[in-house]
Amino acid sequence: MPESLESIGYKAFAHCSSLTRIELPASLTRIRNGAFTSCSNVTRIDLSGCTSLTSIGKYAFTNCTNAVVTLPNKADIAIGSNAFGEEKDWRGDCTWVKAVQIPSENDDLKAKVVNSGYPEFDKDGIQRITTY
């Protein structure tokens, strides 16, 4: 992605099965609704360097079930509902990303991730929100 990239549009990469890793630049400010939804082969979404990021839209990473998302060390990111998936979609399938990594001791960001609908633990009690 170009270093000057500021926004990823609505469903810009939705259903893009050729993506396996996503690393976005510091200049990125916004990831719109559904931007990467259903990118089933993505295993890593690295936003840790996105120091200008202000919002992640609804369903941005829904159905990227193999992905680990690493968020930047910022507390002022607006996170839309179900940005990291949902417990059951219209088919009854779980669509959460595999895990969300946040900077250690960033409780505000962790609360926003949980408030978006992402569970801190899976049904077996395994932690889904981890720190780096």
Q: Write the pLDDT tens digit of every residue in 5-34.
A: 999 999 999 999 999 999 999 999 999 999
Q: Given this model, what pLDDT does residue 88 score?
A: 79
List the structure tokens of 129. Answer: 């929100």
Is position 128 within any domain?
A: no
Please, how many CA atoms are within 13 Å of residue 73, restricted to the half-sphere of its CB? Answer: 5
Domain count for the chain: 1
Q: Given this model, what pLDDT does residue 97 score?
A: 96
Q: Which range of residues forms the domain containing residue 63?
A: 1-117
Is position 45 within any domain?
A: yes
Query: Kind and range of the H or E element at 131?
Result: strand 129-131
Is position 29 within any domain?
A: yes
Is position 63 within any domain?
A: yes
